[in-house]
């Protein structure tokens, strides 16, 4: 049986002189509602302009862009719940967030020079479709649970009207792992780091899925974001990663061996997080050799997927492991 779990996003840190966060909490809507404008007017936050499209055909429908919302139904998952996010509330249980469609643009306002990142999760519609299947789309994993399905969001940046070569990818679902415990559909807010895009004046979104028919994607093409963060001087540099890191065995039962190189005998901090972001283990130690070797006791952990964060000599690395 495949499990639906949440995969933690991995962080890389860019240099940013100052940041502005749009959490959408300044907007006001009736309970269980969403932004609607039959004229198709874009809407604004202090740091960005969010594209919005309304098509007047067939009685009118939201045809593109972003709509901020306070809808929180996570039980139903059909086209009537396209605005809802599977997390139920905004990031950190806030009231508002925004839901978008692929092909949409967010334009960055001065003095920001780029996008630092944002929190992302699946829409309720997409999540339920992937988890259970529907009249248009398949259940991820298929009838046997072994189909290598996936659902991906790709972010691209523009500068001066020219699309930039780098992109940021985030898998909202991934069933391609040989170990069934690793298969997941994201169901909580996860950070997406966009420093890699560098200086940008706008970003756009693309969605791709393994489930397609006649050249069209069957998976519902909606996603939700919160805490859209912009900054000045983004993407100038990234933190160095720890060199030659290895962990074994993986999967592990009681003890996880950690080996890596370090230039100095400084303190090393190791944190282990559950798949839902809860800190499960934290240890600090001073290693007195360049080749650091550490045995981590994981006997108290429950079976499942974990993310380990290692910080040493001002360098950082994130690695995943499975506790059997």
- Residue 6, pLDDT > 60, answer no
Expressed as residue numbers, the domain containing 113 is 18-232
For the whole model, what pTM was predicted?
0.73
What pLDDT, on a 0 to 100 scale, did the predictor assign at position 264?
53
pLDDT band at 9 (very low <50, low <70, confident <90, very high): very low
- Whether residue 211 lies inside any domain: the answer is yes
Residues 86 and 64 grouped into a single domain: yes
CB 219, CB 131: distance < 8 Å? no
Tell me, yes or no, whether 1 lies in a domain: no
What confidence score (pLDDT) does residue 314 get? 65
Q: What is the pLDDT of residue 66?
A: 98
159 & 71 share domain: yes
Question: How far apart, in whole angstroms, are the C-alpha atoms of residue 223 and residue 83?
Answer: 9
Of 199, 232, 265, the residue that ends a domain is: 232
Task: Find out whether the peptide bond into 22 is cis, omega within 30 degrees of 0.
Answer: no
Do 255 and 207 fall within a single domain?
A: no
User: Of the given ranges (109-123, 170-184, 232-246), which has the lowest mean pLDDT?
Assistant: 232-246
**pLDDT score of 239 more than 60:** no
Answer yes or no: is 9 within a domain: no
Class of residue 227 by CB neighbours under 10 A (exposed 0-12, middle 13-18, buried 19+): buried
Q: Average model confidence (pLDDT) for the chain?
A: 87
Domain count, the chain: 2
d(CA 222, CA 220): 6
Q: In terms of domains, do 260 and 182 share one?
A: no
Could you give the percent of the chain with pLDDT greater than 90? 62
């Amino acid at each position: 049986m495949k499990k639906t779990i949440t995969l933690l996003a991995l962080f890389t840190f860019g240099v940013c002189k100052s940041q502005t966060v749009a959490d959408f909490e300044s907007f006001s809507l009736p309970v269980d509602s969403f932004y609607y404008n039959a004229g198709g007017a874009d809407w604004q936050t202090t740091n960005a302009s969010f594209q919005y499209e309304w098509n007047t055909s067939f009685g009118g429908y939201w045809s593109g862009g972003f709509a901020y919302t306070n809808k929180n139904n996570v039980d139903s998952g059909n086209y009537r719940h396209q605005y809802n996010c599977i997390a139920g509330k905004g990031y950190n249980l806030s009231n508002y967030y925004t839901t978008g469609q692929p092909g949409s643009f967010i334009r960055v306002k001065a003095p920001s020079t780029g996008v630092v990142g944002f929190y992302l999760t699946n829409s309720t519609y997409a999540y339920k479709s992937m988890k259970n299947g529907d009249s248009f789309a398949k259940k991820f994993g298929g009838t046997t649970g072994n189909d290598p399905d996936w659902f991906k969001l790709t972010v691209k940046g523009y500068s001066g009207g020219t699309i930039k070569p780098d992109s940021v990818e985030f898998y909202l679902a991934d069933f391609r792992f040989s170990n069934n415990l690793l298969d997941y559909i994201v169901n909580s807010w996860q950070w997406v780091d966009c420093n890699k895009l560098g200086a940008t004046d706008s970003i756009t979104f693309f969605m791709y899925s393994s489930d397609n028919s006649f050249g069209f994607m069957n998976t519902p093409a909606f996603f939700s974001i919160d805490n859209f963060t912009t900054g000045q001087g983004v993407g100038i540099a990234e933190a160095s990663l720890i060199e030659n890191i290895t962990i074994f065995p993986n999967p592990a039962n009681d003890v996880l061996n950690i080996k890596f190189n370090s230039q100095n005998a400084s303190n090393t901090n190791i944190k282990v997080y559950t798949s839902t972001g809860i800190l499960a283990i934290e240890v600090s130690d001073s290693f007195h050799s360049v080749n650091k070797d550490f045995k981590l006791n994981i006997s108290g952990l429950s079976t499942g997927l974990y993310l380990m964060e290692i910080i040493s000599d001002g360098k950082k690395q994130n690695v995943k492991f499975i506790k059997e």
